[in-house]
Chain A
Amino acid sequence: MRRIVVATIAGAGLAVWAFPVIWGLLTSFKTERDVLAYPPVWLFKPTLDNYREVIFGASSIVPNLWSSFFVSTSATLLTMLFAVPASYALARLRYPAKRASGFYVLATQMLPPVGLIIPYYLVLQKIGALDTYAGLTVIYLTFSLPFAIWLMVSYFEDVPFEMEEAALLDRAGRLRALWYVILPQVHGGIAVTTIFVFLNAWNEFMFAVVLGGNRVRPVTVAMFNFISVEQTQWAKLAAGAMLAMAPVILIGIIAQRHIVKGLTVGAVKGGGRR
């Protein structure tokens, strides 16, 4: 009896969280007329027109997809390049002001983005870097880097501490010890962190809308193409959103175990100690 109650509630939970996405998916295959129909049309003739329009048509968001891709990928690469060595040092090396540096990294994560966007806007405008890939990519480091360092530190701490010593005695030297012995043991953590950083970059909106422009226009900003004062193009918006979110949804489904583990590691282990 209790099982049925539990299952019902769980089912309701499933409905609440999955249904809007499914509804969106369905809407993307309807014609604009069908969307506005009341009572709602459940059985309808699906059409690919919306997708055609959104991919090939005048309101194509394909250039925006490219924008998102470029910015997200370069931001992710840059972030990981900086974050992995830094987290290794924070997690496993001894050096002066270690606690201070750890606290600093943590503090930078606490900054609300709106606080940074004003100076960014002014500075980028002055040096003419508004609406450029380079400008936006570097700015994306703001929220990616502290988060990536914070997450990677937990993974580095999990490696047994005598690994470097054994490698040093085996004449590897510090750099090769890191490369051959430590990094292979955290490649799961690197994968998870990369996924998270990429997701955050892909989904970023505020920085993109203020600091981007006509040339650099990630897909999150392009969503507003379908909404104007006069009318909302419901079905096209749905199709556009589906397309825009397809990469992250795919990553989410494929890497869901990793993601959950990453969330838990970050939430339970990290943060409070530094």
Chain B
Amino acid sequence: MGQAGRPALTLEAQERRFALVLLTPALAALLLTTTAPLVYLVWNSLHRLDLGMPWLSGFAGLGNYAKMGSDPRFWNSLLLTGVYTASTVVLQVVIGLCLALLVLQIPKGQGILRVAAILPIVLAPVVVGLFWRTLVLAPDFGLVDLVTRALGLGSHNWLGDPQLALISVIAIHTWQWTPFAFLVLLATLATLPPDVYEAARLDHAGAWQRFRHITLPLIRPAVVMVMILRMMTALSAFAAIFAATGGGPGSATEILNLYAYRTSFTELNLGYGASLAVVLLTITLAISYFMFRLRRARP
């Protein structure tokens, strides 16, 4: 480096060049696999592309989006998405936090509980969905039915009844992902200074107050991050619902995600499916932007 007659690169320039070399493969790959397809997606959403009736294909402008406005199935899917996302995330965080708080007090049991908690997370969502559909929620032989029959509550069609189906898929999702919240919050709680808890325990009268004013603020960053991550998963949840109900019965569990899929690959109406996907994408980006601002706004 720096021989006479050849202008040597300054240190900063060398660093920049090195960084560029390291980043290019990944950035190029990302551009290729995410940005370019996105552009194509939006382009498709502006067309009528029906594989079932190919003679109808052509430019449609914002026609697909206009159709959405008066499509009851679309609004239904939006509502379901909202209900699904909100309930699963809230349930996961609340249950996960409560469990973590409890488990914190029995240090000996933590090891085996951690292993048990890992299992649902590492399983494929599609397998979880199938499992629940067959072994857990099946009428008569499924686990849940065995329990309800033993308790005298009778047998129910957990996945076939429209109202119960939504509850069931929410339960499935919550079952699979609560351990995530549990594990992360447990680890976070374990790093809190112990004297905080000693103080909380000594003062029984103020125990709840201390929890609200000391523990909660301290774990807030972790909780928010867990919520963001879980929200992303809930918005793009597919495999488990597909396996358990396929979006049915009818459209009872058809969140926007599934509606877009069904429209594209079952009904082969790719143009409209693309526009639905664009809407979902926009919603997801908006929510994540909002959530990240929230996280950064409060120290």
Contact = CB atoms under 8 A, between A and B. Distances in A.
Bound pair (A, B): yes
Interface of A: 2-3, 6-7, 9-10, 13-14, 16-21, 23-24, 27, 35-38, 40, 81-83, 85-86, 88-90, 93-96, 101, 104-105, 107-123, 138-139, 141-142, 145-146, 149, 174-175, 199, 202-206, 210, 220, 223-224, 227, 232, 234, 237-238, 241, 244-245, 248-249, 251-253, 256, 259-261, 263-264, 266-268, 271-272
Contacts, number: 281
Given A141-B29, A263-B183, A95 B115 contact: no
B235 A112 contact: yes
Interface stretch (B63-71, B125-133, B156-164, B192-200): B125-133
B277 A205 contact: no
A206 to B, nearest CB: 5
B113 interface: yes
Contacts of A113: 236, 238
Given A6-B105, A252-B118, A263-B183, A116 B34 contact: yes
Given A17-B179, A145-B29, A114 B117 contact: no
Interface in B118-145: 118-127, 130-132, 134-136, 140-141, 143
Interface of B: 12, 14-16, 18-23, 25-27, 29-30, 33-35, 37-38, 40-41, 44, 99, 102-103, 105-106, 109, 112-127, 130-132, 134-136, 140-141, 143, 146, 175, 179-180, 183-184, 187-188, 221-222, 225-226, 228-229, 232, 235-236, 238-239, 242-243, 257, 260-261, 264-265, 270, 273-274, 277-278, 280-281, 284-285, 288, 292, 295-296
15 contacts: A17-B117, A21-B119, A23-B135, A104-B30, A108-B34, A108-B35, A110-B285, A112-B277, A118-B41, A119-B38, A121-B270, A138-B33, A145-B30, A220-B124, A249-B119
B23 A251 contact: no
A36 B25 CA distance: 54
A10 B25 contact: no
Contacts of B18: 89, 93, 174-175
A118 B270 contact: yes
Contacts of B131: 20, 24, 241
B260 A114 contact: yes
B125 A203 contact: yes
B182 to A, nearest CB: 8
A248 B38 contact: no
A267 B232 CA distance: 13
Nearest to A237: B134
B157 to A, nearest CB: 15
Contacts of B122: 199, 203, 245, 248-249, 251-252, 259
Contact of A248 (B21, B106, B124): B124
Nearest to A98: B19
A252 to B, nearest CB: 4
Nearest to A107: B285
Contacts of B132: 20
B27 A101 contact: yes
A117 B257 CA distance: 11
B292 A272 contact: yes
B236 A112 contact: yes
